[in-house]
Structure 1
């Protein structure tokens, strides 16, 4: 009986050992499979963070280098974010081996950081939209003035390039340095034009009412003489650019 008991115990021990080995192998396989999924998810999260950071840096460069504006207060620490996108492979492997650290928590850190980057990006783009609206309004005013002084082809081309550049700043194709160089040339040409009615009024010594009449003329293309005062007519005809373009029909 002792021999039989020993034999039975031996078989039980063998079965238990196989069960342990099976559980260990199963747990290991599950851990490997989970780690593989986590690595894929981490790579996706890092790729998205890198794209967001690149877009942030480009738009931040447009705001600061091209338009000379300051970044919003509390802007993210880009060096810290950049280091997160360049996490060494050894550190990632350590996370897999370390039971106290997990890839999933690192993925959460990456996602949280990307949210912060995107929030900052929205603030920058909001400011760029404000700049865009203001300067596009200036372009429209300059175009209105050109309509009553003869629509000089070079001036109209400058206004067109000015407007086209501003419309591209939220999704540009060029580098920041290239955009800066282009903007400097375009802005210089634009500043040589009459770009606001008040400046035009002061330069030619016109009354406010005359400017209002000129705005109407620019918008509608014509104005009834009966609606103009003698002072407005005389002031318009005293401006060389206007005298050569305004036609009076009886």
Structure 2
């Protein structure tokens, strides 16, 4: 009998084994809680960082490319975001550990095969703070985007007017035609794309507007009229041609013909039928 355990000893051994197994289950459960909570916070922090990157892009473009002013609440929104984001992984783990997690036996509902892994109260509070900060950042970002869209609409109108004039002139000024194409791309494709480089956009926009300013007389019909001293009737005839409508000699006065003839760009671009 010396090699055989007594019944009480065997029972004690089984109970000890069961207790260790349960402790291992509890430990694994709490590890799962920690991982889940930290994962949730990191995910929200990633979203907040993305919102901040977008905000920085729009702010830089508004101020440096269009000489606009960011809203006054920008500073407080960024500060709030930086405060809630100023957390290390050790801090996150500390928040999880500080929750009331006992080593009592884990109970399951009748329809459960594994215990639920839920967020701790401390982490719920932190998540709420992060989401609130993100909302503030996004509100400021939307305000700046609204200002940028207004700038875009104004410039798009100006570029369209210049393109209309270039159409009549047959794109004789190739440098300015390239500038208009460049500006059109920047306004319609690049401006509101926050995934791009703000500094790159600012640099390209500055180059485009520098070229734009060198061709003032080609920016609109009014500018073209002023430079060449054209009458309103001549400009109206030019606008008619810009809409791909035909004019005959019977539609044009002698004065208009004389004005068109003395402007090199119009003389070579306008065709009249007999």
Under a length normalisation based on structure 2, what TM-score does the superposition of the two structures give? 0.73
Q: CA deviation at 1:214?
A: 1.3
The answer as to 2:247 corresponding to 1:248 is no
Matched-pair contact (CA < 8 Å) for 2:80–2:133: no
C-alpha distance in structure 1 between counterparts of 2:50 and 2:240, whole Å: 48
In the other structure, the counterpart of 2:89 is: 89
Q: Distance in 1 between matches of 2:65 and 2:163?
A: 23
User: What is the DSSP-based 3-state SS (H/G/I as helix, E as strand, rest coil) of the residue aligned with 2:269?
Assistant: coil
From the superposition, tell whether residues 173 and 187 of structure 1 become closer, same or farther in structure 2 (CA, over 3 Å). farther
The 2-side partners of 1:49 and 1:160 are apart by: 36
Cα contact 1:162–1:190 (8 A) shared by 2 = no
- What is the match of residue 41 of structure 2? 42
Q: Equivalents in 2 of 1:211, 1:132: separation in Å? A: 27
Runs of 4+ in 1 over 6 A off after TM superposition: 21-29
Please tell me whether residue 198 in structure 1 is matched to residue 198 in structure 2.
Answer: no
Alignment of 1:1-250 (within 5 A): 32-75=31-74, 76-99=76-99, 102-151=122-171, 152-167=173-188, 168-171=190-193, 174-193=196-215, 194-220=218-244, 222-250=246-274
Distance 1:182 1:155 in 2: 15
Shift of 1:166: 1.5
Q: Which residue of structure 2 aligns with residue 18 of structure 1?
A: none
Give the equivalent residue in structure 2 for 1:3. Answer: none
Distance 2:205 2:156 in 1: 14
Q: How much does 1:195 deviate?
A: 0.9
Cα distance per residue 1:168-193 (max 9 Å; x no partner):
11116642222222211111112222
**What is aligned with 1:8?**
none
Provide the secondary structure at the position in 2 that maps to 1:145: helix
Describe the shift of the 1:163–1:207 C-alpha distance in structure 2 as closer, same or farther (beyond 3 A): same
Give SS of 1:244's match. Answer: helix
Kept in 1, the 8 Å contact 2:77–2:140? The answer is: no
Find the aligned partners of 1:191 and 1:175 in 2 and give their Cα distance.
24
Q: State the 1:106 CA deviation.
A: 0.4
Structure 2 unaligned runs (5+)? 1-14, 101-120
Question: For 1:52, what is the secondary structure of its paired residue?
Answer: helix
Query: What are the superposed Cα offsets for residues 131-156 of structure 1, whole Å, 9 maximum, x if unpaired?
Result: 22221222221111112233122221
* TM-score for both structures, normalised by structure 1: 0.80
CA distance in structure 2 between the aligned counterparts of 1:192 and 1:92, rounded to whole angstroms: 57
- Secondary structure of residue in 2 paired with 1:220: coil
Contact 2:58 2:194 in 1 (8 A): no
Rounded Cα–Cα distance in structure 2 between residues aligned with 1:118 and 1:237 = 57
